Each structure stands twice: as C-alpha cells, then as structure tokens.
Structure 1
Amino acid sequence: MHTDLDTAVGALNAGDHVHAHGTDSRGVDTPRAGYLLAAPRLETGQRTSGRAEGWLVYIGKRGDAPALSNRLMISPDTGRIAHTPEQDLTLWRATTLRETGASARTTNLRIRFGGPATRSAVEPTQDTTVCVTYNTEGWYSLDATDDSCAQIYECRLGATIWWAPLPDAPTGLLPDAL
C-alpha cells in the first residue's frame, strides 16, 4: 500500500469530517465531502486493470448509515482522503443552475461553485469562483475567474449544483441584477 495514504487513513476515525476522492460503487471517479460514517477498512476491489487493494470508506451526512450510495473505494495510486474542518452549509445551496440567475441573456454572472449536487454529494466538494456563460444550444460553461479561465464544469440550466453567492454580493438581489 501507499505509505502516505495509509498514514492519512490511519489518522481517521468514524465521525471525522473528511474530503476524499476515489471511485463509487459503479467505478466512477468521485469526490466526496462529509462525515466518515464507519472506520475505513482495507478491501480488495475490482478495477479496470484487475483486482487491487484499497480503502473502503463511507462518507455522508452526520447520522447516515453506511450504504452502497455513500461508499467510496480509495486506491493508493489515484485516491486521496484528508481530515477537513466542517463547512458552514448555511452559505451553500443545492439547486438548479437556473436559480443562480443564469439565463441565455445573463452576462458577467459570478458565483462560488461547489460541484455537482448529486444524490451522494451531501455537501460541496470544492469552492471555486466561476463565471457562468451560455455557450450554445442550452449548455452553460462555468469557467474559473483566475488567469487560466479554465472550464470547471459544463451543464444545462436544469442541472443541480452546489453554489453560493460571492461574499461581496449585495443580499436580496438576484445575481444577474448585479
């Protein structure tokens, strides 16, 4: 096993708040943030390159039971896990992109993007300031506002995402009214 991953996993206990990246039960690369629902355990699992050892963890909301929907396999070559402070979820919303104020006519809409709000994503997995732009035929591009201007995410207006208004945004106004 990978020494750094073993050390990181060894320092964790059930109930700790963590941020992890691994593969879900379908083998899809998945980031997760939340509470460790059970102690991590060493398992052998199926990978595209055959069977390999890794750490099986369950990450979800406080009080959830370990289940297939919140399971994550962390492999030594691509996975990672770290103890993180709890997030203030009162700032974040898990709604459709439409509710951010985005539309085909919106220009210069900037929000904090926390990642896709899938069924297993119980809280944001990132915190990136993005500019939302309509690019073509119903697709919206969420691009980094730094010098790279790299595309962070692309989705339709009805996609559910984690987002928050920027801290300096006036309260009570829709983002496109800024």
Structure 2
Amino acid sequence: MHHDLESAVAGLSGDEHVLAYGVDTRGHQVTRAGYLLAAPQRKTGQHDNGSEEGWLVHVGAREAVPERSNRVMLYPGNGRIARTPEPDMSRWRKTPLTQTGASARTRNLQIVFGGKALRGSDEPTEETLVDVTYNTEGLYILSIPDTGGMTHFQCRLATTIWWAPVPAANSPAIGA
C-alpha cells in the first residue's frame, strides 16, 4: 500500500468531516465532501484493468447511512483523503450560475466557487475565488484572479454550482 494514503486513512475515525478524491462504483473519478460515515475498510477492487488493493470509504451528510451512492474507493497513486473543517453552509448556495448575477453583459463579477453541484452533493468541495466572464460562445469561464485568465472551470449559464458571495473585504474596487 502507498504509505501516504495508508497513513491518511489510519488517522481517521468515524464522523469526521473529510474531503475524498477517488473512484465511484463505475470507476469514474469523484470528489466527495462530508462526514466519514463508517470506518475505512481495506478492499480489493477493479482498477486500471486489473485488481488492486485500496480503501473503501463512505462520505456523505451527517445523518446518511453507508450505501453505494456515497462510497469512494481510494487507490494508491490517485486516491486522497483528508480532514477538513466543516463549511459554514449559511454562506453557500447551490444554484444555476445565472443566480450569481452572471450574464453576457456582466463585468467584474467575482464569486467564491465551491465546485460543480453534482447529484447527491450536500456541500461544496472547494473554496476558490474566481472571476466570471462570458466567452461569446455560450460558455462562462471561471478563472482564478491574477493568473492571466487561466480557466479553472467552464460551464453554461444553467449549470448548477456551489457558490458564495465574495466577502466584502475581497470585493474589487467600485469602478474597477
């Protein structure tokens, strides 16, 4: 087993808030944020056209039960899990991008991006300050400020995302 992954898993106990990167039951990469619903289990699963030993974890809402929809398989080399602080859900919204105020005419829009709101996601998976711009082809570019417009996420106006308003201290100057 990969030492870093094994030590990260060994340091966890049930009911801790975590962020896990791994694969779901179909083998697709997933990111899950929430509570560790059961103790991690060492399992062998199908990975990269073969069997490999890894860790099975269940991550979800505090009151959820371990089931297929909240499982994540962590394999050495591409699986990660870490304790994270509980997000302040009072500031987060799970809405289409249009609810942020984005439109083809919007200028200087900044939001805190929490990730794409996938089916079953109960909370954001990241907290990244982004500039929102329209690219004239029906897509919106969410880019990290001061990176020369490097794309962090790209979506349509109807895409549901996790987002929060930028705290007042980080807002761009009026007229900028």
Q: TM-score, normalised by structure 2?
A: 0.91
Q: What is the number of equivalent residue pairs in this alignment?
A: 171
Q: Which moved more, 1:130-139 or 1:151-160?
A: 130-139
Pairwise CA distance, 1:141? 0.8
Question: Structure 2 unaligned runs (5+)?
Answer: 170-175
- Does residue 43 (structure 1) correspond to residue 19 (structure 2)? The answer is no
1:139 pairs with 2:139:
yes
2:135 partner amino acid? N
Quote the residue 2:114 is aligned against: 114
The answer for the alignment partner of 1:104 in structure 2 is 104
For 1:31-70, what aligned pairs fall within 5 Å after superposition?
31-70=31-70
1:69 maps to amino acid: S
Name the amino acid aligned to 2:85: P
Q: How does 1:1-178 map to 2 (within 5 A)?
A: 1-147=1-147, 149-168=149-168
TM (normalized to structure 1)? 0.90
Secondary structure of 1:136's match? Answer: coil
In 2, Cα distance between equivalents of 1:49 and 1:2: 19
CA distance in 2, matches of 1:148, 1:73: 36
Deviations 1:44-96 (A, max 9, x none): 11122311111111100101011111111111111110111211111111111
Gaps of 5+ in 1: 170-177
Identity %: 55
Give the residue type in structure 1 aligned to 2:76: P
CA distance in 1, matches of 2:5, 2:141: 34
Distance in structure 1 (CA, Å) of the matches to 2:68 and 2:136: 36
What is the deviation of 1:148?
A: 5.0
Structure 1 CA distance for aligned equivalents of residues 26 and 90 of structure 2: 31
Structure 2 CA distance, aligned partners of 1:147 and 1:103?
22
Equivalent position of 2:173 in the other structure: none
Over 3 Å counting, the alpha-carbon distance change for 1:80 and 1:148 in structure 2 is: farther
Give the root-mean-square deviation of aligned CA atoms.
Answer: 1.7
